[in-house]
Structure 1
Amino acid sequence: MKLNICLVYFFTFFFLSLLSFFLGLNFLINDLTYFIELELFSLNSSSVVMTLLFDWMSLLFMSLVLLISSMVIFYSFKYMKGDLVLDRFINLVCLFVLSMMLLIISPNLIKILLGWNGLGLVSYCLVIYYQNVKSSSAGMLTAITNQIGDVAILLKISWMLNYGSWNYVFYLSCMKNDMSMKLISFLIVLAAMTKSAQIPFSSWLPAAMAAPTPVSSLVHSSTLVTAGVYLVIRFFNCLDSIILGILLFVGCFTMFMAGLGANLEFDLKKIIALSTLSQLGLMMSIISMGQPILGFFHLLTHALFKALLFMCAGCMIHNLGNCQDIRFMGGLSSFLPLTCCMFNISNLALSGLPFLAGFYSKDLILEVISLSYINILIYVVYFISTGLTFSYTMRLLYYTVFGNLNYNSYYSFSDSGLIMLKGMMGLIFFVIFGGSTLSWLILPVPFFICLPFFMKMMTLMVIVLGGWLGYLMSQLFLGGFSIYLENIKSSFFIASMWNMPFLSTYFVNYPIFIMGGLYLKVVDQGWSEFYGSQNLYKNLSKNSSFFLMFSKFGLKTYLFLTVFWVIFLIILLF
């Protein structure tokens, strides 16, 4: 029964993906844009309208999301086979995808908020899916960080009341210099930074690895983290130079920080999560340099190889008895040849190896940067981050695929999960051929970038140097000399993303708890008790006990007072 549900969702999403892809091709070739308004109901001449925006960008992105979702659902049947409530998991994944669809085709801020909040709510449910302390903490960090973006979207909706409509596509260019639109653009960038985990909101992305691996494959490729990038692309026309400059700086240093952290991490899923963070920084920074089409191009190619990368990692973790530490892996190419082959291809696509999916977008981005008028800091950070990408890729491959097996003496694992392999094989062809296909479709006129030979070869040079550095780090560590123990504080600082998880949790919580304790001690159980309920209760008890003495004797006291009162009146009268 559960297999039937998975197959129904798989075929539905796959055919919708094909339909969306061919519609996107038609819209791209003919330069079409459809803006559809559906009137839900009208009340006192005020109509409630649902608006949909279909153009080549939204249709191609929808096609990619549906394709990856279909493969992930098919893959999940085997990966989550022992789960007693697999139906609930599949339904949550479908809700996640539908929320993303709502966000993609929305030219209206109200509908964007629905999709945005839907992503946040369902992601929280998926992160805490395993229901333990670690999952609960990670889910809370994810939800609270994303709430900042939700508040920014709500503020933006209130400021859009100045224009009389929430259909933002009408006002992006013509109102660019208006003060309200500048504030709205700032709120857009803030919301995108929280959802796409840019500095200083980066700590939730590795924490979200507590979710099941199929969810991670979906989240890190095409749904949750890409929502912020897609929103910036849509609102690009209203962003001014100051906001774009801030976004460029933040994106570059997010990319650099994630690359450094991945080189010192030992958790397989966290390394891939940090690589996602690095690529998100790359997309944000290239968009902020005035190239939203290139950013969207890299968004699509990155979704293909990152989904496959997580699925291969999940297959390895599944076979190794849920072990995620790469120090216990090694030599997996002998036991999982197909999985390791696809893992290698997706890793090399991530690094930008020529003629794989990542090469067409990443190499083009780096050459555009070499041709642009930017300062030396951004240029150096870009190319160092590219070198670090290949460095942690080579380190990951050395520890998992090529090194010696460090697992238990008694083991039994092999490429026997045909359902998972079929799900991964559905994406491997797109990882190999998808980059060139998308470059021919999205960029009908090829970029001609004329650079000196040294700058033209700079990308290849930093990749080779980064690969050599990653191999050397792995050899030194396994040879008994640990560069991490030389300066353990600085290594921990880099591996923990510049103490960002600490700054996002304890640094925020601890002062609030201290202030709460002082308030409880001094005010709530101190002066407010003295001047408030407790002291009032004591005074009332004291007074009531005094008056109680008169009521103890009852009638005697009453008659005695009456006689005393009569005698007092007679004395006064005479």
Structure 2
Amino acid sequence: MMWPFSICLLSFIILFMMSMFFIGTGFYFIMNDLTYFIEWEILNLNSSSIVMTFLLDWMSLIFMGFVLFISSLVIFYSDEYMSGDLNINRFIILVLMFVLSMVFLIISPNLISILLGWDGLGLVSYCLVIYYQNVKSYNAGMLTALSNRIGDVALLMAIAWMLNFGSWNYIYYLEIMNNSVEMKIIGGLVLLAAMTKSAQIPFSSWLPAAMAAPTPVSALVHSSTLVTAGVYLLIRFNAIIFENSLGHFLLLISGLTMFMAGVGANFEFDLKKIIALSTLSQLGLMMSILAMGFPSLAFFHLLTHALFKALLFMCAGAIIHNMKNSQDIRFMGNLVKQMPLTSICFNVSNLALCGMPFLAGFYSKDLILEIVSLSYLNIFSFFLYFFSTGLTVCYSLRLVYYSMTGEFNSSSLHPLNDEGWIMLRGMMTLMVMAVLGGSMLSWILFPTPSMICLPFELKTLALVVSLIGGWLGYELSKFSLSYNLQSLHYYLSINFLGSMWFMPFISTYGVNFIPLKMGGQVFKIFDHGWSEEFGGQNIYKNIVENSMMVQWWQNNNLKIYLISFILWIIILMMLVIF
């Protein structure tokens, strides 16, 4: 690996400098309350113009800055993590295409240019998920691509419906056309698209499957790009979602997603899948507070979550790298002695995820839970919020118990070390942001403190639930590590809860048995049957017969035949006369 000419280093420097510029500009915009529209006229023909519009406001600039900051560190980290790959330049170019698609999506106020970034994310994510080229990766890539395709179709239908307004710049119509039937239909289609991209129930199964991608890609996908695209789109369309009954539906679905992911993570033993399910849980939290009509809060949690989740995946990648590609947490243990620096970063990001006071996650999660306590909400949604918060601490402590403490459960001759300085530099930079980022963002996004007056019981409920969740996680870990097989009595329940409520089976076998087989039959009967007989094959047969006849005429010299025919006629006439 040659440092001076490394494409990783060059990409890192350019993206890092751009991210600092965009974050600084975003802070300037929010302080001065600025919004810029930039229109680029691509083509003007007979008074019909094709215009590319860019929306630059504080939200798009800050989010773009965060995406570029995290992707720059991920690319820097990849220089060492992917050093054994002969095609590392191809990998980096794919990651850069991924980031470019996300940037397109962020700055577009136009549904068509959003589709450009949206489809770009879907296609490049497929290429990255199948990067390791084995059967499991191919299946995961196909599941990811097809699940996201549903959302792409919904977005295309929304584009078709927006013809009613004469322009695709949705940003102009959100407030004015709020009560129109068209806008409700467009809102429903956009909601469906966002649910597929952000993996809400019933489209959740692709998210853990996408862990087949290399770990740097997982760090990027789960923090600031692919899965956050749906949340960001709904933040922009929030006026439509909240005003209509779609908000109630989204609140229920996202609450169930949060609960399902939290429960599932407690039964999982794959390190990356546990972190993927924690992402799903946090996405549910963002979607649910969005459904209640607090887009700024959802955006705040989106940014803080991006910081500590990228760090969590990078630490997981360093551990997997050192464990010689083993991802099973049962083979880990006592890593805190073998890899102290990585363990520090890992534990800081885990505590930020749990909402430990004064780390990044605390400022957004605690504010969300207090707003929920203050809001007019039914008991079921209230239960889902707080129970899911407890489950987050539960699986986080279980993860720490398995990986950091106890005895090392792999081979006695092991290569565990903290010598990957390139990876560690990327991780430690993110760790500083995971500690300081939350407070910095809360001062800038909410300069006026929110005054939330609650009774003592409600005020301390989040803390109590977190402590109970942590204790439960510790107890469950001890229970599963011991040789007590009592859990086999509840095998069916554990199988149901641990397999994401059978969603992966329904998404694969369920689709295979009914719709795909039915589609195969329709294809066989119609496309290969009657429509072929009367369509393509019939036309082909007629063309062949006619061309053969024409060829026959062309191959036979008519003049010779005609002259011969006339001569015979003359001879016959002469014979008759004489």
TM-score (ref. length: structure 1):
0.90
- Measured against aligned partners, the alpha-carbon deviations of 1:161-210 in whole angstroms (never above 9, x if no partner) come to 11111111110010001111110000110000000000000000000000
What CA distance in whole angstroms lies between the structure 2 residues aligned with 1:438 and 1:309? 20
Instruction: Give percent identity, aligned residues only.
Output: 63
Q: 1:166 aligns with which of 161, 165, 168?
A: 168
> Which of 334, 339, 343 is the equivalent residue of 2:342?
339
Query: Structure 2 counterpart of 1:230, which letter?
Result: Y
Call closer, same or farther: CA 1:262–1:494 in 2, change over 3 Å. same
Structure-to-structure mapping, 1:173-188, within 5 angstroms: 173-188=175-190
Distance, in Å, in 2 between the alignment partners of 1:194 and 1:522 is 32
CA contact (8 A) 2:259 2:281 kept: yes
Counterpart amino acid of residue 506 in structure 2: L
Structure 1 position 336, deviation (Å)? 0.4
Which residue among 81, 99, 105 is the counterpart of 1:97? 99
Q: 1:527 and 1:125, CA in 2 relative to 1: closer, same or farther beyond 3 A? A: closer
The CA deviation at 1:516 is 6.3
Equivalent residues in 2 for 1:7-46, closer than 5 Å = 7-46=9-48
Deviation at 1:523, TM superposition (A): 9.4
Contact 1:477 1:483 in 2 (8 A): no
CA contact (8 A) 1:306 1:346 kept: yes
Letter in structure 2 aligned against 1:137: N
Q: How does 1:487-498 map to 2 (within 5 A)?
A: 487-498=490-501
In 2, distance between residues paired with 1:254 and 1:198? 6
One-letter amino acid matched to 1:135: S
Q: Which whole-Å CA distance do the structure 2 matches of 1:407 and 1:160 have between them?
A: 58
Kindly indicate whether the alpha-carbon contact (under 8 Å) linking 2:162 and 2:168 is maintained by their aligned counterparts in 1: yes
Distance 1:110 1:408, change over 3 A: same
Aligned-pair CA distance for 1:492: 1.3
**Structure 2 unpaired stretches of 5+:** 538-578
Residue 498 of structure 1 aligns to a residue in which SS?
helix
SS in structure 1 at match of 2:43 = strand
8 Å CA contact 1:476, 1:482 repeated in 2: no
Determine if contact 2:184/2:244 at 8 Å carries over to the other structure.
no
What is aligned with 1:106?
108
- Contact kept? 2:101, 2:118, Cα under 8 Å: yes
* Within-5 A mapping of 1:157-306: 157-239=159-241, 240-306=243-309
Any conservation in 2 of the 1:476–1:483 contact (CA below 8 Å)? no
Unaligned runs of 5+ in 1: 534-574
CA offsets 1:490-524 (integer angstroms, 9 cap, x no match): 11111110000011111111124554677799999
CA distance in 1: counterparts of 2:456 and 2:374, whole angstroms: 13
Q: 1:471 to 1:120 in 2, by over 3 A?
A: same
Secondary structure of 2:44 counterpart: strand
Q: Determine if contact 1:2/1:86 at 8 Å carries over to the other structure.
A: no
Distance 1:174 1:496, change over 3 A: same
Residue deviations 1:404-427 (CA, integer Å, cap 9, x gap): 210112212100100100111111
Task: Identify which range, 518-527 or 462-471, moves more after superposition.
Answer: 518-527
SS of residue paired to 1:353: coil
Equivalent in 79, 82, 105 of residue 81 of structure 2: 79
Map residues 374-453 of structure 1 onto 2, 5 A cutoff.
374-453=377-456
Q: Aligned residue for 2:507?
A: 504
In the alignment, what sits opposite 2:357? 354
SS at match of 1:107: coil
1:471 alignment counterpart: 474
Distance 1:469 1:27, change over 3 A: same
Asked if 1 retains the 8 angstrom alpha-carbon contact of 2:60 and 2:106, the reply is yes
Change (3 A) 1:516 1:414: same
Q: TM-score, normalised by structure 2?
A: 0.90
Range 237-246 or range 133-142, more displaced: 237-246
Alpha carbons 1:349, 1:359 under 8 Å: kept: yes
**Secondary structure of residue in 2 paired with 1:84:** coil
Paired residue type of 1:237? A
Separation in 2 of the partners of 1:299 and 1:279? 9
Deviations 1:313-369 (A, max 9, x none): 000000000000000000000110000000000000000000000000000000000
1:175/1:238 contact within 8 Å kept? no
| In 1, Cα distance between equivalents of 2:52 and 2:405 | 54
Contact (CA 8 Å) 1:252, 1:381: kept in 2 or not? yes
1:482 Cα deviation from its structure 2 partner: 4.1
Question: Deviation of residue 241 (structure 1)?
Answer: 3.1
Give how far 1:255 is off.
0.0
- Residues 357-368 of structure 1 mapped to structure 2, 5 A cutoff: 357-368=360-371
Q: Distance between the aligned counterparts of 2:195 and 2:528, measured in 1?
A: 41
Q: Secondary structure at the match of 1:323?
A: coil
